[in-house]
Amino acid sequence: MSDNQLEDMIIIGSGPAGLTCAIYAARANLKPLMIEGEEAGGQLMVTTDVENFPGFEHGVTGPNLVATMRSQAERFGTRFITRNVTKVDFSSRPFKVFIGQTQYLAKTVVISTGASAKYLGLESERKYMNRGVSACATCDGAFFKNVEVAVVGGGDTAMEEANFLTRFASTVHLIHRRDSFRASKIMVDRALANPKIKVHYNKEVVEVLGDEKGVNGLMLKDTVTGATERHQFQGLFLAIGHKPNTDVFKEWLRLDETGYIKTEKGSTYTNIPGVFAAGDVQDHVYRQAITAAGSGCMASIDAERWLEANP
């Protein structure tokens, strides 16, 4: 089955990068078709209050921010399909994007499928999501003033988030499953030198404890002795890595060693002319809604100019 209409632009993914791209592209009369995914909106949908997105003096919830951007994109003519892309074929132009057996054709494709934070996979972790459990210290740290929180992980993100959280929390407990860190030396040294950070080596979280108010503790297991111990913490921050959502594209696009799409420096160009990438799917450093939105704007402008040069 094929939808034979040739689209100027198909945007895959509907977080702040995709939606900003859609707003710009729609206003440039490209009538973008957004395939928003079955879990539309991306990581903002699991974020409670967003207090650092410029323009919202009193904050906004993640879902409301997404809904507002989506309405704005729709107002200028973006069309939406709430399904997941199952396959793409970038071997020739026009590009082919598939949802099951249905094929869509496009002159340009913008990929903004984001990245997903990794979680431990505990049922209790899921239960307290956004009620003490978070995978983003920059987003949620300020809600944990003068309480004890835990950060799980041993990479650069864990060091960075632990340091950041000491601005708010009384003590940050850094919990790592081994006795040495994967993070770079400078980041480890900084964390170890911070008097508000207490390191727990060889420990893993086996259960998140809480009540109707949210998280109030963690059950930690010693990975060497097997002994378990209960600790009182009011927050749990996961910093065990992110997984970029690039499985569908890996056959066609150049990815870095951790699976993120490689874009040309200072632009959203991928290795395939006419295919662009924006947001967390190509950024493992900043990972903010506002930086994703900014790169979505860049993708629209890049695609628009590319279309003008390659009609």
Catalytic residues: 136, 139-140
Work out the angle between the directed axes of helices 16-27 and 289-309 (0-180°, nearest 10).
40
Residue 259 binding ligand NDP, by CB under 6 A: no
Stretch of 90-98, 103-111, 236-244, 270-278 lying at the interface with ligand NDP (CB under 6 A): 236-244
Question: Which C-beta is closer to ligand NDP: that of 92 or that of 180?
Answer: 180
SS3 content of the chain, % helix, strand, coil (to 5): 30, 30, 40
The 3-state DSSP class for residue 156 equals: helix
State in angstroms the smallest separation of the CB of 290 from ligand NDP: 17
Task: Please identify which residue in the block is written with the tokens 């040069």.
Answer: 309
- Using CB under 6 A, pick the residue from 75, 126, 178, 243 that binds ligand NDP: 178
- Shortest distance, CB of residue 120 to ligand NDP, whole angstroms? 5
Residue among 97 and 239 whose Cβ is closer to ligand NDP: 239
Q: How many residues interact with ligand NDP (rule CB under 6 A)?
A: 17
Nearer to ligand NDP, 41 or 153 (CB): 153
Residue closer to ligand NDP, measured from CB, 78 or 163: 163
Token pair, residue 199, equals: 């390191």
User: Judged by CB under 6 A, does residue 94 bind ligand NDP?
Assistant: no
Give yes or no for residue 262 binding ligand NDP (CB under 6 A).
Answer: no
Q: What are the CA-CA distances from residue 107 to residues 10, 86, 215 (Å)?
A: 8, 19, 49
Nearest partner of 24 among 68, 79, 78, judged by Cα:
78
User: What's the min distance (Å) between Cβ of 117 and ligand NDP?
Assistant: 9
Structure tokens at 43: 């990581």
HSE-up (13 A, CA, CB side) for residue 153: 27
Structure tokens at 45: 């949908």
- Select the residue interacting with ligand NDP from 27, 31, 182, 262 (CB under 6 A): 182
Long-range contacts of 129-132 (CB under 8 A, 24+ apart): 129/46, 130/46, 130/47, 130/48, 131/210, 131/213, 131/214, 131/215, 132/208, 132/210, 132/214, 132/215, 132/216, 132/234, 132/235, 132/236
Cβ closest to ligand NDP, residue 155 vs residue 294: 155
Q: Which stretch binds ligand NDP (CB under 6 A): 45-53, 174-182, 212-220, 303-311?
A: 174-182
Contact 51, 44 (CB under 8 A): no
Instruction: Name the minimum Å distance from CB 246 to ligand NDP.
Output: 15
The answer to the question of residue 241 lying near ligand NDP (CB under 6 A) is yes
Angle in degrees, 0-180, between the axes of helices 16-27 and 62-75, rounded to the nearest 10: 20
Among residues 138, 141, 110, which one has the least CA distance to residue 253? Answer: 110
Residue 157 within binding range of ligand NDP, rule CB under 6 A: yes
Choice from 98, 284, 297, 307 touching ligand NDP (CB under 6 A): 284
Q: Which of residues 113-152 bind ligand NDP (CB under 6 A)?
A: 120, 152
Task: In angstroms, give the least distance from the CB of 234 to ligand NDP.
Answer: 20
Residues in touch with ligand NDP (CB under 6 A): 120, 152-158, 160, 177-178, 182, 204, 239-241, 284
